[in-house]
Amino acid sequence: MFKHVLVTGGAGFIGSHMVDLLLERGYKVRVFDNLEPQVHGQIDAPPAYLSSEAEFVRGDVLDRDAFARALKGIDAVIHDAAMVGVGQSQYQITRYTDVNVTGTANLFDIIVNEKTSVERVLVASSMSIYGEGCYRRTNGEVVAPVVRPAAQMEAHDFEMRDPDTGQVMEPVGTPETKPLYCTSIYALNKKDQEEYTLVTGRIHGLPTVACRFFNVYGPRQSLSNPYTGAAAIFMSRIKNGNAPLLYEDGKQMRDFICVRDIVEAKLFLLENPKANHEPYNICTGKPTSITELSMTLAKLYGQPDLKPNIVGQFRAGDIRHCYGDGSRLTALGWMHRIGLEDGLRDLVKWSEGVEAVDMVEKAHRELAERGLVKG
């Protein structure tokens, strides 16, 4: 049984919920976080929602000495610290790769080469590493296509089509065994983080686990960061009376999972030795369209007539459909429990008392100016 857990990025959205659950279950917790301004704004102290029962250490994963000090006396590490955002990663390549990949390399270099007491590491991975999800052809065969042809996208034909027959294929749940095909720098970073974690764990006999998050939403998600998750981005628009901005035709499907389910799954994996040296989807296994998500949020916020602005353009690196197959984690004994509307209701209730600066149109212009929005 681990006693002292370090949560990197523990002042952030997912990390702070992880801290709460660990404290609730009797763990001693230390947080290592640099209070990234894009997430937190300009602050000099931890956000008010971070429990005072956790020890807070301000520092950066790129500062090896500070990281080493933060690991002193730690039994287990939950490594959540990362730069997040597919679109921004496409041009802030060095920044994303430094924080996400080099930061993870620092973690394992310290564990391997210095005297630490770390016995287990969980890393936050992402469904983005799959690229497109899995699809079923009309003959029943399940395939893993790569990308949609540029000419098809330019013609505003967005569905994934069978390259042999031209027929639209049906999306199905994506398991951990699907070949990975990264379509963004962020995805490539997460793939590298995951592989550093699993390879180092196997080589050095250190129990490690990769947690492949699908689309996480919930309270404490930044409502002023236009590169965060879809639910928070939509809420920043809705709170300001603006229609959510949707790319393609708004029918693309994702797997939205509540942050409470995410942290409970992570604690389950932390405490389960059968999970060693494997990646696990943390998902609901239920697809939801982007349009449905935006309209549900508008309804719950009391603005049911606020319809999304479906622009018909597409972003470089975007995929069509991807939702999870959670059977590997289910086989170990864990299943999600929070339904989408119930979880979104919690997000909306929390958002009512939170300032939201709508930066979506600015982010859209930045991507367009760099040639990353097309059509």
Q: For residue 1, is pLDDT > 80? A: no
CA atoms within 13 A on the CB side of 43: 16
Tokens matching residue 179: 């070949």
Q: Is the pLDDT of residue 228 over 90?
A: no
Q: What is the pLDDT of residue 154?
A: 94
- Our measurement of the distance from residue 47's CA atom to the centroid of its chain's CA atoms, rounded to an integer in Å, reads 20
Residue 4 binned pLDDT confidence (cut-offs 50, 70, 90):
very high
Q: Which domain holds residue 315?
A: 4-374
Q: Cα(14)–Cα(224) distance, rounded to whole angstroms?
A: 16
Report the pLDDT averaged over residues 278-291: 98
pLDDT, tens digit (0-9, with 9 covering 90-100), for 76-124: 999 999 999 888 999 999 999 999 999 999 999 999 999 899 999 999 9
355, pLDDT greater than 90: no
Dist. CA 295–CA 320, nearest whole Å = 19
The catalytically annotated residue of 27, 96, 130, 186 is 186
Query: φ, ψ for residue 280 (rounded to 5)?
Result: -135, 130
Say what the pLDDT of residue 142 is: 98
User: Residue 360, CB half-sphere, CA atoms under 13 Å: how many?
Assistant: 25
> Predicted confidence band at 280 (pLDDT cuts at 50, 70, 90)?
very high
Please answer whether residues 312 and 156 qualify as being in contact, where contact means their C-beta atoms are separated by less than 8 angstroms: yes
Phi, psi of 328 (to 5 degrees): -65, -45
Angle of helix 230-239 relative to helix 340-351, nearest 10 degrees, comes to 50
User: Which residue in this structure is represented by tokens 């790569």?
Assistant: 146
Burial readout 31-59 (b: 16 or more C-beta within 10 A, e: otherwise): bbbbbbebbbeeeeebeeebbeebebbeb
Residue 186 appears among annotated catalytic residues: yes
Measured CA to CA, the distance from residue 263 to residue 292 in angstroms comes to: 25
d(C-alpha 342, C-alpha 196), whole Å = 36
8 Å CB contact between 370 and 91: yes
Residue ranges of E strands in 188-345:
208-213, 215-217, 245-246, 253-254, 256-258, 278-282, 288-289, 309-310, 314-315
Q: Are strands 208-213 and 120-126 parallel, antiparallel or unpaired?
A: parallel
What CATH number is attached to the domain comprising 215? 3.40.50.720
Crossing angle between the packed helical segments 230-239 and 360-369, to the nearest 10 degrees: 120
Of 43, 46, 45, 62, residue with least CA distance to 11 = 46
Can you give the pLDDT at residue 363? 87
pLDDT band, very low/low/confident/very high, at 231 (cuts 50, 70, 90): very high
pLDDT in tens, 138-169: 999 999 999 999 999 999 999 999 999 999 99
Cα(312)–Cα(71) distance, rounded to whole angstroms? 48
pLDDT higher than 80, residue 14: yes
How many domains in the chain? 1
Best CA proximity match to 85, nearest among 333, 349, 318, 306 = 318
Is there a contact between 353 and 309 (Cβ–Cβ < 8 Å)?
Answer: no
- Does pLDDT of 176 surpass 80? yes
Over residues 211-229, the mean pLDDT reads 92
Q: What is the pLDDT of residue 30?
A: 98
pTM above 0.85?
Answer: yes
375, pLDDT greater than 90: no
β-strands 314-315, 373-374: how paired?
antiparallel
Reported as a single tens digit per residue, the pLDDT across 287-333 is: 999 999 999 999 999 999 999 999 999 998 899 999 999 999 999 99
